Amino acid sequence: MKPALVGDIGGTNARFALWRDNQLHHVRVLATADYTSPEQAIAAYLDEQGIARGELTAVCLAVAGPVHGDEFRFTNSHWRLSRQAFCKTLQVERLQLINDFSAMALGMTRLQEGEFRVVCEGEADLSRPALVIGPGTGLGVGSLLSLGDQRWLALPGEGGHVDLPVGNAREAAIRQLIELEIGHVSAETVLSGGGLVRLYQAICALDGHAPAFKSPAEITDAALAGDAVALSVIEQFCRFLGRVAGNNVLTLGGRGGVYIVGGVIPRFAELFLRSGFAGSFADKGCMSGYFKGVPVWLVTAEFSGLLGAGVALQQA
């Protein structure tokens, strides 16, 4: 039986796999910077697997950004994609494009034991939407709703680009410093890999420290080693994430639970679990009680977006 191909393409990495028997096979991760287009990267993957053009039954790609029309422009990379040109180049009859966090949301339906950790205890109400949110190259936000009979609806959106919320005077001062530098301050401006560096610089300026670190990895490593400034940055990062996640839960009525995904948080999982995330998450004044019993999980599964692309193919 001919295979299908699934892909999960972010700003930094593109993950590809073959989809057979509702499972992933031959997963590969390629750097987007190494290829001029998704077609070139997929061609290299197919060559590696010994699959000729025209042998795929279908392709489903999870892509970072809003999906509509023939042409798709990736939000956080130089890649572009035309559906017609893609199908012609790779000799594919059916190309399905879905938002990357719609795929991530669908991937949550395939989580296994050991692939998540409990952040906030609670019981998911499966009649209500679940929130999927994750800092990575950008800040992805998606939602998931059970339709019954093992079918799911993933609702795409661009919730990472909402305004960054603040809950106290210090957070307002941090936001003001960032706004003076770049203008509009979205949640993604801070809650992403690059945003971690921007937050570090703002906190250094606010507290009178000379910046010593230049990359997310350096800041994270310093925090894990006990550096006080880096620890304060990680703590504030977690608190901002809690505020954004809480706002989304109120907007969605998201008592189906919250899945924290993406590449940033797992790098400092223990610090995150001890952070003020949970307090900021439920810090909503008269609506704080709404969050009682809403479960939150930190997802550590490696290829949820790819699995979600497979689930999308399966449901189609």
Binding-site residues for ATP sit at 7-12
Query: Binding site: what residues are annotated?
Result: 7-12
Rounded Cα gap, residues 245 and 298, in angstroms:
13
Non-local (6+) Cβ contacts of 287 within 8 A are 250
